[in-house]
Structure 1
Amino acid sequence: MKEIKPIIKKQIEALIFVADKPLYPQEIAKILEITVEEVEYILQELKKEYEERGINLYKINGAYEFATSPDTASALWRYVSRKRERLSKAALEALAIIYYHQPITKAEIETIRGAKVDSVLGMLLEKRLVKIVGRKETIGRPFLYGIGDEFYRYFFIEDDEELRR
């Protein structure tokens, strides 16, 4: 790999810092007009550099973002002084069904779960733990649901491979 200019590393760090969502290496490469391999190499360097700090660089579902280190959790919880809203048993059940059967309709979720999921599904959509991924080609064209962008962040899951381990 050719030598990478230090300014590129700073630019990648700044892009991730100001981004309102996790950034994929492909996006960064396109913005900076460099290869994805170069971006991945720099991201791994940055990840190592941040491991000893209060803020870490995380790869979540293939995209990168900064977040606080787990080591700082107790201090941050005291500062924020509010608990992370827990998901109900019904929400966790619906989320598991959606994850393992996606794309899936509301009626299919209710059949598997054996109970209505209107309010639970609404809450999961609001939290962006699930999202509408399309419509089923059948009578009424019901929405199809899949895992949302926040699912991996909420559960601190790097990618689907981590769930299969």
Structure 2
Amino acid sequence: MSDRPIQFNRSDPDDGKPVVSASNALMPQQIKQVIETALLAAQEPLSTAMLRKLFDSQVESKQISSYLEEIRKDWTDKGIELVRVASGWRFQVKAEMQPFLNRLNPPKTPRYSRAVMETLAIIAYYQPVTRGDIEEIRGISVSSSILKTLTARGWVDQVGHRNVPGKPALLATTQQFLNDLGIRALEELPPLEELGTLIDTEVNGIEESEVESSTNE
């Protein structure tokens, strides 16, 4: 997709043909087209509030939601689908299409260490937790490199401090974690034993160089 920002001009500077104008009242089909174009061009999920910024005040959030549902239905029979994740809406390749795309660009096999997966699972299912909580549940110490890896990946963040002596940091998963798994809320997490499979399916995996430091944990 192009990284150029979406602009709405009265005419194309190259051929002079009229295009959608942001300053004029738009027809429903034009509004829908603008939303669809923004979603296709976006690098990250777009929320309803973000999509509203594309228009003047005449387009309400309820209308945006209605157009999103129409667009979702329009793409039902295609290899790409419009889905809602934690931070908004995005287009993504359907799971059944991925094996064919992998032939063009074979994915690297994710190398998740057992320590990384155990730590991520504990944070996901018991959050918010402290490093001490994780160590108590695992029964062994937690390497700083593991927490740095999960933080660098954007899956874990500090959300506060526990009100006990020493005030240890509280850790929790992020919206990025939910986005990467293709879910909207923690309630949609699969059973604990299926988390590793879901991560392998939905994301490309932590870079090997990040994980190698904790492989022997």
* TM-score for the superposition, normalised by structure 1: 0.82
Alpha-carbon separation, structure 2, partners of 1:85 and 1:24 = 30
Query: Alignment partner of 2:133: what SS?
Result: helix
Is the aligned partner of 1:64 residue 2:89?
Answer: yes
Take 1:159 and 1:130, find their aligned partners in 2: how far apart are those partners?
15
Offset from partner CA, 1:64-91 (integer Å, 9 cap, x none): 1111121211111111112352433322
Is residue 89 of structure 1 aligned with residue 109 of structure 2? no
Compare 149-158 and 97-106 and name the one that shifted more.
149-158
The whole-number CA distance in structure 2 between the counterparts of 1:62 and 1:112 is: 30
Q: 1:10: how far off?
A: 1.4
Pairing of 1:11-22 with structure 2 (within 5 A): 11-22=34-45
Specify the alignment match of 1:128 in structure 2: 154
Task: Give the whole-Å Cα distance in 1 for the aligned partners of 2:34 and 2:109.
Answer: 32
Instruction: Confirm or deny that 1:163 pairs with 2:163.
Output: no
Alignment of 1:4-43 (within 5 A): 5-32=28-55, 33=57, 34-43=59-68
Unmatched 5+ stretches in structure 1: none
| Higher-helix-fraction structure | 1
Q: Report which stretch shifted further, 148-157 or 90-99.
A: 148-157
Letter aligned with residue 47 of structure 2: Y
Post-superposition CA distance 1:37-77 (Å, at most 9, x none): 21111111111111222221111125111111212111111
Q: Flag structure 2 segments of 5+ consecutive residues without an equivalent.
A: 1-26, 192-217
- Contact 1:130/1:149 (CA < 8 Å) preserved in 2? no
Matched, 1:145 2:171: yes
The match for 1:49 is 74
Contact 2:123 2:134 (C-alpha < 8 Å) held by counterparts: yes
1:111 pairs with 2:155: no
Q: CA RMSD in A?
A: 2.4
Corresponding residue SS for 2:104: helix
Q: TM-score, normalised by structure 2?
A: 0.65
Q: Which residue of 2 is the match for residue 102 of structure 1?
A: 127
* Ranges of 4+ aligned residues in structure 1 off by more than 4 Å: none
Larger radius of gyration: 2
SS at match of 1:79: coil
Contact 1:60 1:158 in 2 (8 A): yes
- Aligned position for 1:75: 100
SS in 1 for 2:129: coil
Identity of matched residues, %: 31
